[in-house]
Amino acid sequence: MPIKLEAIAADPNAHEPRGNGQASDASRPDSLVRMHTGSWLCDGLLMLVGSAHELENGLLKATLTLDGEVVAARAETWPFTSDIARGAREAVYIVACPEGTTRGIALQHLLLGEGNDSIEYGRPQLPNKLTDVGRVLCNSVASLSTEERYRFMAFLIAASAPALRLERGNQVAEALRNVRDALRERLAAAEESPQNSLSGRVDQVKAVTESMYVLRGWVANEAARLARFTVVTPEGSRIELADRLHRYARPAVDAVFGATDGGGQAAKYGVACTFSTQIPCRLDHGWLVEVVDESGRAMEIEWPAIERDEALVRNTLLGEVGDECRAGNDALISDHLAPALMEIQRCLDAETRIRKVVQYGKALERATVSLVVPLYGRLDFLEQQLAQFGQDPEIAQADVIYVLDSPELDKAVTDIAAPLAKLYGVPLRVAFMENNSGFARATNAGASLATGRLLLLMNPDVLPDRPGWLGRLVAAHDGIPNVGAVAPKLVYEDGAVQHAGLFFHRQPGLGLWNNEHFFKGLYHRLPAANVARRVPAVSAACMMIAAELYRDMGGLSGQYVQGDYEDSDLCLRLFQVGKEVWYTPEVQLYHLEGQSYPSALRSLTSGYNQWLHTHLHDATIEKVMADFRAGEGQG
Amino acid sequence: MEKPKVLYICHNHPIVRPGGAEAYALELYEGMRQHGEFEPIFVAKGGPPLSKRKQPHPGSPFGLVDGDPNQYFVYTEGYEFDYLYGSMVGKEFYTKHFHEFLLAYKPAVVHFQHTLFLGYDLIREVRNTLPNVPILYTLHEYLPICHRQGQMIRTIGGNELCDRESPQRCNECFPDVSPQTFFMRKQFVQSHFSLVDQFIAPCHFLRQKYIDWGIPAEKIVFEEYGRHPVKPLPEKIEDRPRNRFGFFGQLNPYKGATVLFDAVKHFKQELAAKTASSRGRRSSAACEVPVDIAPDIRIHGANLDLQPGTFQNEFRAMLEATKDRVAMVGQYKHEDLPRLMSEIDWVIVPSTWWENSPLVIQEAFGYGRPVICSNIGGMAEKVADRVNGLHFRVKDPAHLSQVLHEAANSPGLWEALRRGIRPPYSMSEHVNSVANMYRSLRRRKAEAA
């Protein structure tokens, strides 16, 4: 809404500010175009209160002279009707100075806006001296209604947002917390007592990022339904969660408080919620939640310090997904836990970078196949694989790309790669990842370097035992008319089948889909395991796919934690676009599965990954399996 | 043309732990392969409790037995076995894993050797997945009838032999398990057994027990275990008494090793008493009284470590007390038998339960060793008293002591009994007979289908 100056009273003594804006109207008294008071909120962030202006932009250029120095800044305006000035239109101006500006003492000159659309304030229109924040608030917004004050807080946070992101952001946040504490309507502190008909506690808050949090606690609202459950950040952001809370049974709490809640339902006093803040919050203390029920009972709950350890937060969330999955609390997972884990995985995308690519041996002019092999944790497979590749003229014609996804092994790889490439006569490239980015991201990074028409995604523990396999795999791939992906037979060291294609099996009870291997553990010559056929999915331990198709599909999904289900996820997406996935037993390689993946971590991640896989592809899996059974004549 | 496959399912593999039923089962598997009409597949329970080995491949309960692509261990990690009902609690073990296995191999015949640790439900899974395949089940003891490890020995009345089950009687043995539960147990086992086409009983005594329990007589045939023929040890004319006795078998409380110890103790006391009285006489008359020849006993046994601690302690204490006459040789391999048998004259089978058809009897006879055994059940059936061996009253150490005395001190007796031994039923005859069963059952099923 455009700002209009109201209650214009004539004052013959008015000093005329120069400039071409509204304030330059000669008939206007200078009391209406001055800054009455001001204060530094913190270094670089100046708050002024004065008459409201009619400049066109909310965000203005501001040029100020501070202790004799001219500083270029930005100003934001928040107009309000002042009680103290008997209904006059006033405004709070937040002037954000560039980084490095400290609190000046004397504000000598201020120009808001630019060119024709500007107002200039000289010494007489500026406060004599800057005062403290409390006094400025008292003389301006403190007397406004609660709602108005909260609106002001929201404005203040938005105006401070760029400063909050700076290195001195914590100082800014502390300053905002002081403002919040001055303006906030306090409620009674929560007491955990069965005598109260409204009690509660926040047990734990985990930071997913600086602007996403997962809260757990309980609220015993015996008397009435919740009207408000408002998280107040230290900076004063208010986030209303009453409609979004997940309520769940907390037997220990439910037993102490009333057996039915204020809505007449069986008591489920547990509270869980994932929420986002409008700006990143770095303070761990000063968070609280205001709780009000429909009959007007109100309390505020202070929080324990926020848990910000990334690995701990992730692993705790993964564990919770596992528990809730078993308990069948799907809503809690889909609405609260999974969004948090998805955010964590999204953040990893931003951190994924190839630091450098090094060519060992002579670079190839042209290759049909690019092998992409991620290395993680163990390097002995590198030599084992190269020792086998070295016997094979087809590999010599292939584009061999290793992706080192263990930055701590950079030096070890640098030391051995050149001699290995030379000894085994295999030219290769190594892409060194900046961070450990996980199987999917590392593979995608490697694929982005590929020059071949075909990609062969390969695990380092997949070992051929004789040459000739790569050509046969290419022939198999190219012989399938509508090919999506094709994968060979993989065999354990004891001659048992490791991989002969994958299928999906719905777990009874939970309804989640398991990825199952055909004929796993059975002898590799079993006739049934030696039929080339279309299968629901294949393993990415060794999977051939056209490079262009792979890129069109967006590669492997980075949504899964630590490497699981990416292969079937890709196969299901291939199915959705009408491509076929095939198993071919004409090629047989060894796969020493699971040697480099700690099983404790796998058991932690598998619950979430499985949930996500089912959640993303439930209908597709049904269709794939129905098609497969029809094709196999098992109806 | 691919050979029809026979799937054998067993609760253990002899390379993990020795045991009569599993040793026989593997020999049958090997015999069937040599026979050539069928391609046999052997699946044995792997992993705990009998083996420390873990499931080798994540996501599959099957693991190859080293060196033979037709032999598998099946691991049951993640599944709980209910010993009372004899059934896996998690049914996906059957409906998922075994189902996939059966589809992968599509056996033409499934022959159960044991379902302990695996569950009777396997029978149903086979029937569901392969509706027209004959199912055979060889009965090696009384586990389907008796919750006390299939021994049919009561927990009350000093391990009294049990001749029949009933919910009330079983509840007397296991007061924590109600008669109703025992009733359900029997109904449950029989519901699975009703899907079996042919039961095989290696002894008439056991066959009758199962008929009494409720298996229709026409569904259960007698077929003795086959043994690979061995060369009988030469009957050397030796100028020495036949006083060397051997015990071969599991060192569990039901195999009667402790009866043997008690008999030795008894013998020693008798001998001491006699010696004392003969000394008394010697002072008056200076003639030599012939001294009785004492028995020398060698124990060849395994799996003492699997037994309850009290039994292990009792066993060791008795061994210590009789060590001048009893030598503990320990676990043996099958290929050691000729040597071990040559070091003894008699084989003792002092079991305190009914037994089925103890392989050790066939082995003893194979090597030309008369058998001294308890006078009950399968033992009494397989050993004819005073024809090819001697009976003693079950659980009676005094009587066994007398029999040992007689055996060691009766010149010519051993030779006479040795001449009464007939060669054991051979594995090739047995395999032929079993293959005939498979063939005719397949024909019958095909006609019915």
* pLDDT digit string, tens, across residues A405-433: 999 999 999 999 999 999 999 999 999 99
Task: Identify whether residues B195 and B262 lie together within a single domain.
Answer: no
Chain B contacts in chain A segment 477-536 (CB below 8 A): 492, 494-496, 498, 505, 508, 516-523, 525-529
Q: Is the pLDDT of residue B91 over 80?
A: yes
List C-alpha distances in Å: A237 to A256, A356, B359: 33, 42, 83
A495, A520, A528 member nearest B60 (Cβ): A520
Side-chain-side CA neighbours of residue B407 (13 Å): 35
Which residues in chain A have Cβ-Cβ distances shorter than 8 Å to B104? Answer: 519, 522, 526, 528-529
Do the strands B62-65 and B5-10 form a parallel or antiparallel pair, or are they unpaired? unpaired
Q: How many CB pairs under 8 A join A and B?
A: 59
Q: Quick check: A485 and A455 in contact, CB under 8 A?
A: no
Query: Side chain identity at A93, as an amino acid letter?
Result: Y
Tally of domains within chain A: 3
- Express each pLDDT in B322-345 by its tens digit: 999 999 998 888 889 999 999 999
Quick check: helix, strand or coil at residue A598? coil
B58, B63, B104 member nearest A526 (Cβ): B104
Only one residue has tokens 């202070």, namely A302
pLDDT bucket at A85, cuts 50 / 70 / 90? confident
- pLDDT for residue A257: 87
What stretch of H or E contains B347? Answer: strand B346-349
Distance in Å, alpha carbon of B96 to nearest chain A alpha carbon: 9
- pLDDT for residue B445: 95
Task: Tell me the longest C-alpha to C-alpha distance in chain A.
Answer: 106
Task: Identify whether residues A172 and A240 lie together within a single domain.
Answer: no
Task: Identify whether residues B399 and B303 lie together within a single domain.
Answer: yes
Distance in Å, alpha carbon of A628 to nearest chain B alpha carbon: 15
* Terminal CA-CA length for chain A: 66
Task: Identify whether residues A409 and A369 lie together within a single domain.
Answer: yes
CA distance B108 to B105: 9
- pLDDT for residue A634: 59
Task: Identify whether residues B168 and B249 lie together within a single domain.
Answer: no
- Express each pLDDT in A233-272 by its tens digit: 999 999 999 999 999 999 888 888 878 887 888 889 999 9
CA distance A598 to A610: 18
β-bridge partners, A301: A289
Task: Identify whether residues A359 and A341 lie together within a single domain.
Answer: no
- Express each pLDDT in B237-287 by its tens digit: 777 889 999 999 889 888 999 999 999 999 888 888 887 776 655 544 444
Task: Identify whether residues A426 and A491 lie together within a single domain.
Answer: yes
Record: contact B60-A593, CB cut-off 8 A: no
**Residue B234 belongs to some domain of the structure:** no
Task: Identify whether residues A454 and A502 lie together within a single domain.
Answer: yes
Q: Is the pLDDT of residue A24 over 50?
A: no
- pLDDT for residue B277: 74
**Residue B237 belongs to some domain of the structure:** no
Task: Identify whether residues B271 and B324 lie together within a single domain.
Answer: yes
- pLDDT for residue B253: 87
**Residue B233 belongs to some domain of the structure:** no
- Express each pLDDT in A131-143 by its tens digit: 999 999 998 999 9
- Express each pLDDT in A557-575 by its tens digit: 999 998 789 999 999 999 9
Range name among A3-17, A114-128, B162-176, B402-416 with the lowest pLDDT average: A3-17
CA distance A339 to A110: 46
- Burial (CB count within 10 angstroms: exposed 0-12, middle 13-18, buried 19+), residue B298: middle
Nearest residue to A562 via CA among A621, A612, A497: A612
**Residue A265 belongs to some domain of the structure:** yes
Q: Quick check: A78 and A154 in contact, CB under 8 A?
A: no
**Residue B232 belongs to some domain of the structure:** no
Task: Identify whether residues B125 and B11 lie together within a single domain.
Answer: yes
Task: Identify whether residues A111 and A59 lie together within a single domain.
Answer: yes
CATH number at residue B367: 3.40.50.2000
Q: Quick check: B245 and B372 in contact, CB under 8 A?
A: yes
- pLDDT for residue B240: 84
Entry field: residues in chain A = 635
A contact test, residue of B57, B72, B74, B130 with most A CBs within 10 A: B57
How is A3-20 classified by DSSP, letter by letter? ---------TT-----SS
Record: contact B92-A527, CB cut-off 8 A: no
Task: Identify whether residues B17 and B151 lie together within a single domain.
Answer: yes
Record: contact B69-A528, CB cut-off 8 A: no
A495, A508, A528 member nearest B104 (Cβ): A528
- Express each pLDDT in B137-182 by its tens digit: 999 999 999 999 999 999 998 889 999 999 999 999 999 999 999 9
Query: Side chain identity at B343, as an amino acid letter?
Result: E
Task: Identify whether residues A363 and A342 lie together within a single domain.
Answer: no
Q: What is the mean pLDDT of residues A172-177?
A: 93
Among A319, A347, A375, the domain boundary falls at A347
Q: What is the mean pLDDT of residues A608-634?
A: 93
Q: Is the pLDDT of residue A280 over 70?
A: yes
**Residue B390 belongs to some domain of the structure:** yes
Q: Closest chain B residue to A518 measured between Cα atoms?
A: B100
Query: Side chain identity at B5, as an amino acid letter?
Result: K
Task: Identify whether residues A372 and A317 lie together within a single domain.
Answer: no
Task: Identify whether residues B202 and B297 lie together within a single domain.
Answer: no
Share of chain B above pLDDT 90, in %: 78
List C-alpha distances in Å: A460 to A224, A237, A506: 60, 49, 30
Range name among A37-41, B233-237, B244-248, B307-311 with the lowest pLDDT average: B233-237
A518, A521, A593 member nearest B62 (Cβ): A521
What stretch of H or E contains B221? Answer: strand B220-222
Task: Identify whether residues B183 and B281 lie together within a single domain.
Answer: no
A contact test, residue of B3, B5, B60 with most A CBs within 10 A: B60
**Residue A334 belongs to some domain of the structure:** yes
Task: Identify whether residues A30 and A134 lie together within a single domain.
Answer: yes
Q: Quick check: B372 and B348 in contact, CB under 8 A?
A: yes
**Residue A10 belongs to some domain of the structure:** no
- pLDDT for residue A595: 59
Task: Identify whether residues A175 and A209 lie together within a single domain.
Answer: no
The backbone region for B327, taken as left when phi is positive above 0, alpha when psi lies in -120 to 50, beta otherwise, is beta
B64, B92, B101 member nearest A496 (Cβ): B64
- pLDDT for residue A20: 40
Which residues in chain B have Cβ-Cβ distances shorter than 8 Å to A628? Answer: none
**Residue B236 belongs to some domain of the structure:** no
Q: What is the mean pLDDT of residues A312-329?
A: 92
**Residue B252 belongs to some domain of the structure:** yes
What stretch of H or E contains B248? Answer: strand B244-250
Range of the domain at B208: 5-226+426-448
Centre a 10 Å sphere on the Cβ of residue A273 and count the other Cβ atoms it contains. 23
Nearest residue to B371 via CA among B245, B284, B260: B245
Angle at B358 between CA B356 and CA B360, to 5 degrees: 180
Q: Is the pLDDT of residue A114 over 90?
A: no
Distance in Å, alpha carbon of A179 to nearest chain B alpha carbon: 58
Q: Closest chain B residue to A508 measured between Cα atoms?
A: B92
Task: Identify whether residues B189 and B307 lie together within a single domain.
Answer: no
Query: Is A407 in the B-facing interface, judged by CB distances under 8 Å?
Result: no
**Residue A192 belongs to some domain of the structure:** no
What stretch of H or E contains B24? Answer: helix B20-35
Give the contacts of B383 (CB within 8 A, at least 6 positions apart): B349, B361, B371, B373, B389, B391
**A320 backbone dihedrals φ, ψ, rounded to 5°:** -65, -40
CATH number at residue A598: 3.90.550.10
Record: contact A522-B104, CB cut-off 8 A: yes
**A237 backbone dihedrals φ, ψ, rounded to 5°:** -65, 145
Q: Closest chain A residue to B74 measured between Cα atoms?
A: A521
Which residues in chain B have Cβ-Cβ distances shorter than 8 Å to A519? Answer: 100, 104
- pLDDT for residue A371: 98
CA distance A43 to A130: 13
Range name among A23-32, A315-324, A495-504, B134-143 with the lowest pLDDT average: A23-32
CA distance A497 to B64: 10
Residues of chain B contacting A, Cβ within 8 Å: 2, 56-64, 66, 69-70, 72, 92, 96, 100-101, 103-106
Task: Identify whether residues B85 and B216 lie together within a single domain.
Answer: yes
CA distance B53 to B63: 11
Record: contact A594-B58, CB cut-off 8 A: yes
- pLDDT for residue B148: 93
Distance in Å, alpha carbon of A496 to nearest chain B alpha carbon: 7
Q: Quick check: A237 and A278 in contact, CB under 8 A?
A: yes
Q: Closest chain A residue to B72 measured between Cα atoms?
A: A522
Instruction: Considering only residues B289 and A82, tell me which one the structure prediction assigns the higher pLDDT.
Output: A82
- Express each pLDDT in B39-83 by its tens digit: 999 999 999 888 888 888 888 999 999 879 999 999 999 899 999
Q: Closest chain A residue to B65 measured between Cα atoms?
A: A494
- pLDDT for residue A167: 82
CATH number at residue A254: 2.60.40
Distance in Å, alpha carbon of B199 to nearest chain A alpha carbon: 29
Q: Closest chain A residue to B103 measured between Cα atoms?
A: A528
Q: Is the pLDDT of residue B184 over 50?
A: yes
CA distance A439 to A561: 9
Mean pLDDT of chain A: 89
Which residues in chain B have Cβ-Cβ distances shorter than 8 Å to A492? Answer: 56-57
Centre a 10 Å sphere on the Cβ of residue B239 and count the other Cβ atoms it contains. 5
Record: contact B101-A498, CB cut-off 8 A: no
**Residue A12 belongs to some domain of the structure:** no
Share of chain A above pLDDT 90, in %: 69
Quick check: helix, strand or coil at residue A373? strand
**Residue A6 belongs to some domain of the structure:** no
- pLDDT for residue A328: 84
Q: Quick check: A486 and A543 in contact, CB under 8 A?
A: yes
Q: Is the pLDDT of residue A17 over 70?
A: no
**Residue B377 belongs to some domain of the structure:** yes
**Residue A442 belongs to some domain of the structure:** yes
Which residues in chain B have Cβ-Cβ distances shorter than 8 Å to A525? Answer: 69
Tally of domains within chain B: 2
Centre a 10 Å sphere on the Cβ of residue B316 and count the other Cβ atoms it contains. 12
Task: Identify whether residues A235 and A364 lie together within a single domain.
Answer: no
Record: contact B69-A520, CB cut-off 8 A: no
Distance in Å, alpha carbon of B103 to nearest chain A alpha carbon: 9
- Express each pLDDT in A350-406 by its tens digit: 889 999 999 999 888 889 999 999 999 889 899 989 989 998 999 999 999 999 999
- pLDDT for residue B375: 97
CA distance A438 to A434: 12
**A14 backbone dihedrals φ, ψ, rounded to 5°:** -60, 140
B57, B66, B92 member nearest A521 (Cβ): B57
- pLDDT for residue B2: 87
β-bridge partners, A559: none
**Residue A8 belongs to some domain of the structure:** no
Nearest residue to A213 via CA among A351, A337, A30, A355: A337
pLDDT bucket at B291, cuts 50 / 70 / 90? low
List C-alpha distances in Å: B93 to B56, B73, B97, B115: 17, 14, 5, 13
- pLDDT for residue A499: 97
Among A297, A328, A347, the domain boundary falls at A347
What stretch of H or E contains B43? Answer: strand B39-45
Q: Closest chain B residue to A520 measured between Cα atoms?
A: B60
Only one residue has tokens 């124990």, namely B299
> How many whole angstroms from its chain centre is CA A92?
34
Record: contact A523-B101, CB cut-off 8 A: no
Nearest residue to A140 via CA among A22, A5, A1, A39: A39
Among A324, A347, A370, the domain boundary falls at A347
Task: Identify whether residues A381 and A343 lie together within a single domain.
Answer: no
Task: Identify whether residues B193 and B260 lie together within a single domain.
Answer: no
Task: Identify whether residues B397 and B277 lie together within a single domain.
Answer: yes
Range of the domain at A118: 22-183
